[in-house]
């Protein structure tokens, strides 16, 4: 697979595919756009794990010709430019299909390859805003709350692209022909909202934020502050879980009322909040974690890898001096693995190109023309 370097959803899709065993060759720019730096380098470096990087000037005709040589040998290519950019640079879907009719061409954008907004700029927050999902997140009477950039960039974007590429690869094995995967974050976010839109269509979801079953409106499905200013989550939707929660909080049947009586929800919320404030987060964890309730403490990023269940499953691993999420999902016969550390841009230029069949004479010409860059001295 060839990955044309980008930000956010494209690298995430390439990371997922690499974790599952795909050989992904990352095409980085020779001149790099500014990146946000952390104490150990670019903050998005984990997204680049598990693949080799070559530095190619795709505005140089020799660089474009090199890319097309690689395309002829690849199963898939992914890129995240705005519509029309790859075509202007000379490696759009038509040009690539002419070199390799089996190639799957994966494209990730915010708005999609067509439509009035196709060429417009945007970020995760804009795509989730237009999808209707952002309007549903937040407390009643308060502004919508951006759910980080997880829903758009990664769930509705990168994961959708990875899924689409794998589906197209399976189809290409049957037909011998590739195709374009148009993965739009707007489409993916909308798909993630299938339950929301279904409930809305059936009259079971109010447009008023924070008043519904799953958005914090229900007192038995929400987050509560504890005695030590920590937080816990409860999700006691089913009647038996609700009854167990009420019993553990010592809220009597007379006080709790009917579970689905929305007129009683504000009062019940106050009772639940008062009960939970009687103990610390860790005390509630010790008391409720093994009960039939649907409960979990709210952990911060540093605490998550240390939790006994997370630790037992190996959900996080420490590799290359960084604690990071392990490959997922899991398989019984072919477990995923992180193939290597995040590369410095262009770190493997000559080594990887040689493995892809580019000879030493051609490499020398590419260096002389400025189409490829020299390997950097250090990894980020």
Q: Structure tokens of 118?
A: 């196709």
Using an 8 Å Cβ cutoff, are 322 and 24 in contact? no
Q: What is the mean pLDDT of the chain?
A: 94
pTM for the whole structure: 0.93
Burial state string for 316-352 with b = 16 or more CB within 10 A and e = fewer than 16: eeeeeeeebebbeeeeeeeebebbebbbbbbbbbbeb
pLDDT > 90: percent of the chain: 92
Using an 8 Å Cβ cutoff, are 256 and 246 in contact? yes
Q: Report pLDDT digits (tens) over 149-198.
A: 999 999 999 999 999 999 999 999 999 999 999 999 999 999 999 999 99
Q: How confident is residue 38, by pLDDT bands cut at 50, 70 and 90?
A: low
Q: How confident is residue 289, by pLDDT bands cut at 50, 70 and 90?
A: confident
The larger pLDDT score, comparing residue 314 to residue 44, is at 314
Radius of gyration of the chain, Cα coordinates, nearest whole angstrom: 25
Residues 129, 138: Cα–Cα separation, whole Å: 13
* Annotated active-site residue in 32, 44, 123, 365: 123
CB atoms within 10 A of CB 192: 18
Query: What is the structure's pLDDT at 290?
Result: 84
**Mean per-residue pLDDT, 28-37:** 65
Residue 297 backbone phi and psi in degrees, to 5: -70, 155
* Annotated active-site residue in 19, 28, 57, 153: 153
pLDDT > 70: percent of the chain: 95
Q: How confident is residue 33, by pLDDT bands cut at 50, 70 and 90?
A: very low
Which secondary structure element, helix H or strand E, spans residue 42, and what is its range?
Answer: strand 41-42
Q: Is 123 a catalytic residue?
A: yes
Answer whether residue 34 shows pLDDT above 50. Answer: no
Query: What is the structure's pLDDT at 343?
Result: 92
Q: What are the structural domains of the chain?
A: 2-192+318-369 (3.40.50.10540), 221-225+231-297 (3.30.1540.10)
Q: Is 255 a catalytic residue?
A: no
**Mean per-residue pLDDT, 104-113:** 98
Query: What is the structure's pLDDT at 45?
Result: 84
């Amino acid at each position: 697979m060839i990955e044309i370097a980008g930000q956010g959803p494209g690298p995430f899709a390439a990371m997922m595919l690499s974790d599952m065993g795909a050989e992904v060759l990352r095409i980085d720019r020779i001149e790099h756009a500014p990146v946000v730096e952390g104490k150990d380098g670019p903050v998005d470096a984990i997204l680049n794990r598990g693949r080799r990087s070559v530095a190619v000037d795709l505005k140089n005709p020799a660089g474009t010709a090199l890319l097309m040589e690689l395309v002829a040998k690849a199963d898939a290519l992914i890129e995240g430019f705005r519509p029309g950019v790859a075509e202007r640079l000379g490696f759009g879907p038509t040009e690539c299909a002419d070199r390799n009719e089996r190639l799957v061409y994966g494209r990730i954008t915010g708005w999609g390859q067509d439509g009035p907004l196709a060429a417009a700029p945007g970020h995760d927050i804009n795509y989730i805003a237009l999808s209707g999902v952002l309007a549903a997140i937040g407390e009643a009477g308060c502004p919508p709350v951006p759910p980080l950039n997880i829903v758009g960039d990664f769930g509705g974007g990168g994961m959708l692209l990875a899924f689409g590429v794998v589906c197209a690869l399976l189809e290409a094995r049957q037909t011998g022909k590739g195709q374009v995967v148009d993965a739009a974050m707007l489409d993916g976010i909308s798909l993630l909202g299938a339950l929301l839109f279904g409930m809305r269509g059936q009259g079971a979801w109010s447009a008023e934020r924070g008043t519904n079953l799953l958005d914090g409106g229900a007192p038995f499905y929400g987050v509560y502050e504890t005695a030590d200013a920590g937080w816990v989550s409860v999700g006691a939707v089913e009647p038996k879980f609700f009854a167990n929660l009420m019993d553990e909080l010592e809220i009597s049947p007379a006080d709790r009322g009917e579970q689905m009586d929305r007129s009683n929800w504000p009062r019940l919320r106050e009772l639940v909040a008062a009960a939970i404030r009687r103990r610390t987060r860790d005390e509630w964890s010790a008391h409720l974690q093994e009960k039939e309730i649907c409960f979990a403490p709210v952990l911060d990023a540093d605490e998550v890898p240390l939790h006994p269940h997370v630790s037992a499953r190996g959900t996080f691993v420490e590799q290359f001096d960084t604690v990071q999420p392990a490959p997922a999902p899991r398989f019984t016969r072919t477990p995923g693995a992180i193939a290597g550390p995040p590369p410095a841009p262009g770190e493997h230029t000559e080594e990887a190109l040689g493995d892809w069949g580019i000879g030493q004479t051609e490499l020398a010409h590419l260096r002389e023309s400025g189409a490829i860059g020299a390997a950097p001295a250090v990894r980020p």
